[in-house]
Amino acid sequence: MEKRIAVIFTGGTIGSVTREGVIGLDEGAPDLLLEQYTKRYGDKREFKKYYPVSVLSENMTPYEFGKIAECLSLAAKEEDVAGIILTHGTDTLTFTANALAVMFSDISVPVVIVSSFKPLTEGGNGVQNFKAAVDFISLEIPGVFVAYQNFKEPMRIHLGARLAETEQLTGRVSSIGNLHFASLEGGRFVLNSSPKNVSLKSLAEPKKPSGLTSLSTDVVTVVPHTGTDFEYYLLKERIPRAYVIKLYHSGTCSGVSGKFGVMKFIERAREEGSEVVLAPFPSGMAKYESSGGIFDKALIATDISFEMCVVKVMLALGSGVGVSEALSRNYAFEKLI
């Protein structure tokens, strides 16, 4: 039986057109993507198509995400599927890539997520990203990946579990530490030579299911800045099950006393029954005296991105797994160690 590539269309800019200066979803965009791909590259293969949702990714809710995950699970079980391409918007691309990488850490086929910085009718990069996904799937490397070409840069393949938040204003897509998995050079994919990159052997090894299958939305993220009043995050009438606080690049957060420091906030949150997680923190880094006491009162997410930490906390709470256990595991090579 000849195997095909499954394409899961979900909307996003790659599934949109511009009308009167406003970008919006268009039901004809999926067909346009395949038409432009065939015309540009002369590949007349037939794809197995799925349409679980159609949504601009900034409007993604747990419902749409759940439908995408369900569709991905079904497609991966089809005997005639060699790999899966998932079209997606760039705004919440990072969340979806990280979450699917953990949820499908044991997947046996390649899954490549593609998007576009502009609608296809305006010269967006969606078609070339799609082409890279098709070519990468032919290598039969299992796992969740993202194919994306930034302006004036080579085509990159990123591990889904290491995809960083899309850069502000520029829309540049990258991996944490700029540690992309591979790049397209001279018509072939070349692995990143960094010792922190994941080997093909490691990716090919069979893996156990993560056990993280459902999202809990009972999580509040806090991104501090100078002058953050942490008391605003403690509304007694509705306390979340967990807070995730983003640390500065030095692994610090305000340690001053009073409402502008995080210490009292952590203590009160824990009194109300909330888990508090600080992220990210590189293992082996010395702690600053400004934040030393904070680490004794909260869970620390080491060697993973802030985005991955949020995903793990949401999945752990939604799947009945301890947050501490989920943070300690390395499900999909998300840890930079």
Residues 6 or more apart whose CB falls under 8 angstroms from that of 223 comprise 246
Q: Is 123 helix (H, G, I), strand (E, B) or coil?
A: coil
Instruction: Tell me if domain 4-204 and domain 219-328 are identical in fold.
Output: yes
pTM summary value: 0.96
Query: For 4-204, CATH number?
Result: 3.40.50.1170
> How many whole angstroms separate alpha carbon 26 and alpha carbon 336?
39
Angle at CA of residue 285, ends 283 and 286, nearest 5°: 135
Q: What is the pLDDT of residues 230-272, one digit of tens each?
A: 999 987 788 999 999 999 999 999 989 899 999 999 999 999 9
Question: Residues in the chain, how many?
Answer: 337
Q: pLDDT band for 290, please (50, 70, 90 cuts).
A: confident
Per DSSP, the residues of 232-296 read: GG--TTS--SEEEEEPPTTS-----SSTTSHHHHHHHHHHTT-EEEEEEE-TTPPPPTTTGGGGG
- Looking at domain 219-328, its CATH class is alpha beta
At 295 the pLDDT is: 87
Closest among 319, 316, 298 to 308, alpha carbons compared: 316
Alpha helices in 170-242 (DSSP H): 200-204
Beta-carbon count within 10 A of 21 CB: 5
What are the residue ranges spanned by the domains of the chain? 4-204, 219-328
For the stretch 295-320, pLDDT in tens is: 888 999 999 999 999 999 999 999 99
